[in-house]
Amino acid sequence: MSQPKILVTGANGQIGRVLTEALRKIYGTESVLATDITKLPVTVEPFEFLDILNNQRLRELVEDHKITQIYHLAAILSANGEWNPIKTWNINLNGLLAILELAREKEMDKVFFPSTIAVFGNTTPRVNTPQDVPLLPTTVYGMSKSTGELWCNYYHQRYGVDVRSLRYPGIIGWQSLPAGGTTDYAVEIYHEALKNGQYECFLSENTRLPMMYMDDAIKATTDLMQAPKESISIRYGYNLAAMSFTPSEIAEEIKKHIPEFSITYKPDFRQQIAASWTESIDDSMARKDWNWKPDFNLSSMTLDMLHHLKNTL
């Protein structure tokens, strides 16, 4: 197979920054074009500005750079999305539709679409949530991602587009900050523990959510995308799991390294969002189809997070 030419949307986002670097390690820097609506001081070339709602610009970039694969990460997350539902829907869904259409027309090799635990809702079984369950998401972010999953499935069935997708849990990494999600507390808590020795959590102490260390999220993404086509049986989002914990459990883990650390709780509107998601995920299909297995649990993640953040903060 010839060298892929990859375009990443949302390359300056929490996952985008780390995934772009990982893809460049695998395929070479020049083979991975980073795009985003803003440029950061840390942005590494090749980079092009892209507003995901600008279909013409997207088409030009795909044609000019002879793109063969797209990792479509640009999106507005669950909490931020609630401030402007219509804008969130447009960005999260119309961007995907433009990409799927281009992938069909240009006969691209592959497309990656990140889905999320936010597709689950109050009618979904909460513990060890199976792959195929009732989805009645409560946020516009969850609605856009669950509808996006259906479109991915449709483009695969109807046109044979090789689109692959994961339902990411909350992602925690030292390299970048999330922006406007409900699971953001689990990143902020490490920063605040090191900087101030205390953290005020916007979720209540016993809110259990599925989470994953960034290294595992990147491994899952690149493994899924490199797996042989025949082994991919799910074209909407694969359930994906690594660990589940509550704010009080992560605080206890941090205290093992920073004994003076303290946490207080002041739940806000994000509590209701978190309460509509599930606690733990059955990811046996990912394990069976492409040998998924996470490397990090709460204690190894905490050790690694604190080690890296101590050097960077």
236 labelled catalytic: no
Inter-residue contact 167 to 234 (CB < 8 Å)? no
Burial of 45 (0-12, 13-18, 19+ CB in 10 A): exposed
What would the x/- binding string for ligand SER be over residues 43 to 82, using CB under 6 A? ----------------------------------xx----
The residue among 130 and 180 lying less far from ligand SER, judged by its C-beta, is 180
55-64 helix and 95-105 helix, angle to the nearest 10 degrees: 40
What would the x/- binding string for ligand SER be over residues 143 to 172, using CB under 6 A? -------------------------x-x--
CB of 141 to ligand SER, least distance (A): 6
Should residue 210 be labelled a site residue for ligand SER when binding is judged by CB under 6 A? no
Distance in angstroms (rounded) separating the CA atoms of residues 255 and 261: 6
- Residue of 92, 116, 144, 147 interacting with ligand SER (CB under 6 A): 116
The residue among 222 and 276 lying less far from ligand SER, judged by its C-beta, is 276
Should residue 183 be labelled a site residue for ligand SER when binding is judged by CB under 6 A? yes
* Active-site residue, from 27, 71, 141, 154: 141
From the list 92-100, 116-124, 130-138, 234-242, the region that binds ligand SER by CB under 6 A is: 116-124
What is the binding site for ligand SER (CB under 6 A)? 77-78, 116-118, 141, 168, 170, 181-183
Indicate which residues carry an active-site annotation. Answer: 141
